[in-house]
Amino acid sequence: MSGPTLTAIRPALEGLAPSAVATSAADGTPNVVYISQLQYLDADHVGISNQFLSKTARNVQEQPLATALVIHPDTARSYRLWLRFVRSETEGEWFDAMQARLELIASLSPGAPHELRSVDVFAVESIEPQVSDMVGDPPAAPAPDPTSDATSDTEA
Domain residue limits, the chain: 10-129
For the whole model, what pTM was predicted?
0.77
Question: In this structure, are strands 30-35 and 65-71 parallel, antiparallel, or unpaired?
Answer: unpaired
Residue scoring higher pLDDT (44 or 105)? 44
pLDDT of 16 higher than 90: no
pLDDT of residue 143: 62
pLDDT of 138 higher than 50: no
Bridge partners for 78 per DSSP: 71
pLDDT tens by residue, 145-154? 666 555 444 4
CA atoms within 13 A on the CB side of 94: 22
Radius of gyration over every alpha carbon of the chain, rounded to an integer in angstroms:
21
pLDDT of residue 155: 46
Using DSSP's 3-state secondary structure scheme, residue 42 falls into strand
User: Where in 1-154 does DSSP place strands (E)?
Assistant: 19-24, 30-35, 38-42, 45-50, 65-71, 78-89, 118-129
pLDDT of residue 74: 87
Residue scoring higher pLDDT (110 or 74)? 74
* CATH for the stretch 10-129: 2.30.110.10
